[in-house]
């Protein structure tokens, strides 16, 4: 099996606290700054726009009517935000989890969200009105969420399990039995992910300081090493879908709880464009 091709990251944006949730949407890179409680968008030249202020903003997605859906980190809340950046609804899911994290919105107006729970982590299905029900369990710190190009398969990073899982999506949004997409070995812990048109995923392995392109079965085709910080989350975008944006955060678990972090975003050009997910 061939060794991964190495790519070099280039600077894109700095000056954020703890970046998360990068998504290419409406011709711009959107991302959240968790500890600053802000959602930004950036053009390809790096020009920044503050889109909304949302407490502990983490995962991002959009309903068919354009409503921005934002999940929180460090608290169990999901927000709806209008086109002017105003929070129009807040949904408390503390009956299901002590915190949410990443979020994936699907074209039919549903969303999937990470649920971190004292009795075992899982994945929640969010309807367009904000109601949440648990549709998967047995995942040890679920993180990045994406939709494979077939439009009918959810792909999820199992961070503490050092693996990537897929779930068939049923007609009502429920999830079928999981399948193993890739076993990453004990030393790699996948955080965020994004999907390309060939059905491979780019993942950030936060504590090994690398972004990897992984195909079904676990072969790593490309690797981008970062000099310092956590390799948190990637997104594919740009005008041709071939720019990989990589969120990096330099912190510790203790620092994250205390709000002490320095974040930035890097970029690299890749061959295979994004599939538009997440």
Q: In the prediction, which pLDDT does 253 show? A: 85
The overall pTM is greater than 0.85: yes
Question: How confident is the model at residue 254, as a pLDDT?
Answer: 87
Adjacent-strand bridge partners of 92: 77
Q: Which two tokens stand for residue 140?
A: 């040890």
HSE-CB for 206 with a 13 A CA cutoff? 25
Report in angstroms the alpha-carbon separations of 167 from 121, 141, 150, 245, 249: 16, 16, 12, 26, 29
Cis peptide before 278 (omega within 30 of 0): yes
CATH of the domain at 79: 2.120.10.30
> What are the pLDDT digits (tens) for 219-262?
999 999 999 999 999 999 999 999 999 999 999 888 888 888 99
Respond yes or no: is residue 47 known to be catalytic: no
pLDDT at 255: 82
Q: What's the structural domain count of the chain? A: 1
Q: Which of 33, 121, 191, 196 is catalytic?
A: 191
Pick out the residues of the known binding site for a divalent metal cation.
20, 143, 191
Range of the domain at 206: 5-277
Annotated binding site for substrate: 101, 119
- Give me the residues of the chain with pLDDT under 70, please: none
Q: Write out the binding residues.
A: 20, 101, 119, 143, 191
Choose among 102, 111, 51: nearest CA to 73.
Answer: 102
């Amino acid at each position: 099996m061939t060794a991964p091709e190495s790519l070099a990251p280039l600077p894109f944006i700095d000056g954020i606290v703890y970046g998360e949730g990068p998504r290419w949407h409406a011709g711009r890179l959107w991302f959240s700054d968790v500890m600053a409680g802000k959602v930004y968008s950036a053009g390809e030249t790096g020009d920044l726009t503050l889109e909304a202020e949302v407490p502990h903003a983490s995962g991002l997605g959009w309903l068919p009517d354009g409503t921005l859906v934002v999940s929180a980190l460090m608290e169990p809340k999901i927000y709806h935000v209008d086109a002017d950046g105003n929070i129009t609804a807040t949904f408390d899911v503390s009956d299901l989890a002590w915190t949410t994290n990443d979020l994936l919105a699907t074209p039919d107006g549903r969303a999937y969200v990470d649920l971190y729970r004292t009795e075992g982590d899982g994945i929640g299905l969010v309807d367009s009105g904000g109601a949440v029900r648990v549709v998967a369990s047995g995942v040890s710190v679920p993180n990045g969420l994406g939709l494979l190009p077939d439009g009918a398969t959810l792909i999820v990073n199992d961070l503490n399990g050092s693996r990537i899982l897929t779930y068939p999506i049923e007609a009502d949004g429920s999830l079928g039995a999981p399948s193993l997409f890739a076993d990453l070995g004990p030393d790699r812990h996948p955080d965020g992910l994004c999907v390309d048109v060939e059905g491979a995923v780019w993942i950030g392995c936060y504590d090994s300081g690398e972004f990897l392109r992984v195909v079904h079965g676990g072969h790593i085709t490309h690797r981008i090493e970062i000099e310092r910080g956590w390799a948190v989350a990637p997104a594919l975008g740009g005008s041709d879908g071939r720019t990989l944006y990589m969120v990096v955060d330099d912190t510790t678990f203790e620092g994250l709880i205390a709000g002490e972090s320095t974040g930035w975003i890097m970029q690299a050009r890749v061959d295979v464009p994004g599939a538009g997910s997440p």
